[in-house]
Amino acid sequence: MGIPHFLAIPFPILGHMNPLLQFSQVLAKYGCKITFLCSDENYNRLMKTASFGNESQINLVSLPDGVDPEDDRKDQAKVILTTRTAMLAKLPKLIDEINALDSDKKVSCMIVTKNMGWALDVGLKMGIKGALFWPSSATSLASFNCMQRLIDEGIIDSQSGLPTRKHEIQLSSNLPMMEAATMPWYCLDNPFFFLNMMQEMQNLNLGEWWLCNTTFDLEAGALSLSPKLLPIGPLMASEHNTSSLWQEDRTCLQWLDQQQPQSVIYVSFGSMVSTKPNQFKELALGLDLLNMPFLWVVRKDNGIEENNEYPDEFRGIQGKIFSWAPQKKILSHPAIACFISHCGWNSTIEGVYNGVPFLCWPFCSDQLMNMTYLCDVWKVGLGFEKDENGVISREEIKKKVEQLLQDEEIKVRSLKLMEKVIKNKEGDKNLKKFIKWAKE
């Protein structure tokens, strides 16, 4: 029963890397040895921006992800395929090299995120046990695990994952009814994601545990669907210097210090999704109409400003626009009144943990499901209505923000949910159980 040596392997995008890096830092705090495998590109970025400080327990290694410089890294399907092809052949040799450095502390357990399930198979063949770290909600993982059952019951089509007729889907009696369109495999209307996840779930089932950054208070129904599901959240509670792949602009915190309590609208759509130019314009003008302080994250992707231009009439004098910001620190700041969010799971957990009410603006994958929880189950947020052109108008933005900020019940529920999540001790207990299993 020595110290477990974990090999952490995230899919090479920010929404998978950051939470797994955070979890690795928690495991390191418990005295575990960690080797963190990145793509070459992310390794170089981390080495530039990250202050790993004294965290020598985390050893960074890298392999190429096979994406050519001229390829579009936003093409998720391509990145999934090239990463698997490029890394699969090289992983066994890398593990041998890692083990040769310290034969007393060989890799004893592999932790992978979604799209990297093939690595669990490599590990098992080398006698290494495996677990999945799921960067989204437990409900989305449970729904992926139900795909075959939904096909067998004739509810969804076996090739596209689309519903065979118009109906709501309820994965089990203790889960909310959901529109079929909120199922997380309807991403970008591309059947690749559905078929890929059908294959991926077979790989992920090789993992003995499915670790989720969630709590029983948030998702009791989903967690009851598989004995593999282990809630280890909220990972927020660890005040580690989580290294971000992107340079954060911390001047926004000084600006927030000068604002009144609960006066600022925070707008961020995460690291992947982008608004179309006409929608970008409506959002800008909606923020103007509100005449309130706002903090808006507009990413500069790969050094290029988003292809969105601010409309001529946009004044923006009340707010600040940043290209990337330290979100956890922002959401815990007393000046924040509400969060206009794409409802990615990391943002959802961070907002809930800080008791911030939500205005939900989901784009795809599990974000629609998370919105169902925020608005209908936990009742700590509101959604936007789109017009006949599928656009959320500036008037709708103004109306919903004002409605949310006047709703005292939503504020009370947000704070109650925050208390429950912060007080949760189950996560620590499950974490110790997982580490004990890894040692055996």
Instruction: Give the per-residue pLDDT at 316.
Output: 86
Q: Bridge-partner residues for 39, per DSSP?
A: 63
Q: Which letter, b or e, does each residue of 55-92 get, where b requires 16 or more Cβ atoms within 10 Å of its Cβ?
A: bebbbbebbebbbeeeeebeebebbbbbbbebbeeebe
Residue 205 pLDDT > 60: yes
Instruction: Give the per-residue pLDDT at 49.
Output: 65
Residue 211 pLDDT > 90: yes
Can you tell me the distance from the alpha carbon of 67 to that of 44, in angstroms, rounded to the nearest whole number?
15
Residue 254 pLDDT > 80: yes
Residue 91 pLDDT > 90: yes
Residue 226 pLDDT > 90: yes
Per the CB < 8 A criterion, the answer to whether 151 and 158 are in contact is yes
> pLDDT, tens digit, for every residue of 44-69?
888 876 555 444 568 999 999 988 87
pLDDT winner (highest mean) among 171-180, 298-307, 422-431:
422-431
Residue 292 pLDDT > 70: yes
Residue 230 pLDDT > 80: yes
pLDDT band at 307 (very low <50, low <70, confident <90, very high): low
Can you tell me the distance from the alpha carbon of 183 to that of 232, in angstroms, rounded to the nearest whole number?
24
Q: At what angle do helices 118-125 and 76-101 cross, to 10 degrees?
A: 20
One-letter amino acid for residue 20 of the chain: L
What are the chain's domains? 5-233+424-439 (3.40.50.2000), 251-422 (3.40.50.2000)
Instruction: Give the per-residue pLDDT at 131.
Output: 98
Per the CB < 8 A criterion, the answer to whether 105 and 34 are in contact is no
Residue 210 pLDDT > 70: yes
> pLDDT, tens digit, for every residue of 317-339?
899 999 888 999 999 999 999 99
Give the pLDDT mean for 289-303.
Answer: 84
Residue 94 pLDDT > 80: yes
Give the pLDDT mean for 295-318.
Answer: 77
> pLDDT, tens digit, for every residue of 163-183?
888 888 899 999 989 888 789
Instruction: Give the per-residue pLDDT at 68.
Output: 84
Reported as type and span, the H/E element at residue 339 is strand 336-341
> pLDDT, tens digit, for every residue of 119-135?
999 999 999 999 999 99
Instruction: Give the per-residue pLDDT at 103.
Output: 85
Give the pLDDT mean for 356-378.
Answer: 95
What's 235's DSSP letter? G
Instruction: Give the per-residue pLDDT at 166.
Output: 81
Residue 40 pLDDT > 50: yes
Reported as type and span, the H/E element at residue 50 is none
**Nearest to residue 114, comparing CAs of 223, 246, 12?**
12
Instruction: Give the per-residue pLDDT at 333.
Output: 97
Reduce the DSSP state of residue 87 to 3 states and report it.
helix
The answer to whether the Cα torsion of 199, 202, 206, 209 is positive or negative is: positive
**Which of 17-31, 183-197, 336-350 bottoms out in mean pLDDT, i.e. has the lowest?**
183-197
Give the pLDDT mean for 72-81.
Answer: 85
Paired tokens of 70: 């001229």
Instruction: Give the per-residue pLDDT at 244.
Output: 60
Give the pLDDT mean for 188-217.
Answer: 93
Question: Exposed (0-12), middle (13-18) or buried (19+): which is 223, by Cβ within 10 Å?
Answer: buried
**What is the residue-averaged pLDDT of the chain?**
91
**What percentage of the chain carries pLDDT values higher than 70?**
93
Residue 428 pLDDT > 50: yes
Q: What's the gap between Cα 144 and its chain centre?
A: 16
Give the pLDDT mean for 388-398.
Answer: 97
Please name the residues in contact with 307: beta carbons below 8 A apart, sequence gap of 6 or more: 277
Instruction: Give the per-residue pLDDT at 306.
Output: 56
Instruction: Give the per-residue pLDDT at 71.
Output: 79
Please name the residues in contact with 178: beta carbons below 8 A apart, sequence gap of 6 or more: 168, 169, 170, 171, 369, 372
Please name the residues in contact with 61: beta carbons below 8 A apart, sequence gap of 6 or more: 35, 36, 37, 38, 43, 94, 98
Backbone angles phi, psi at 80, to 5 degrees: -60, -45
pLDDT band at 246 (very low <50, low <70, confident <90, very high): low
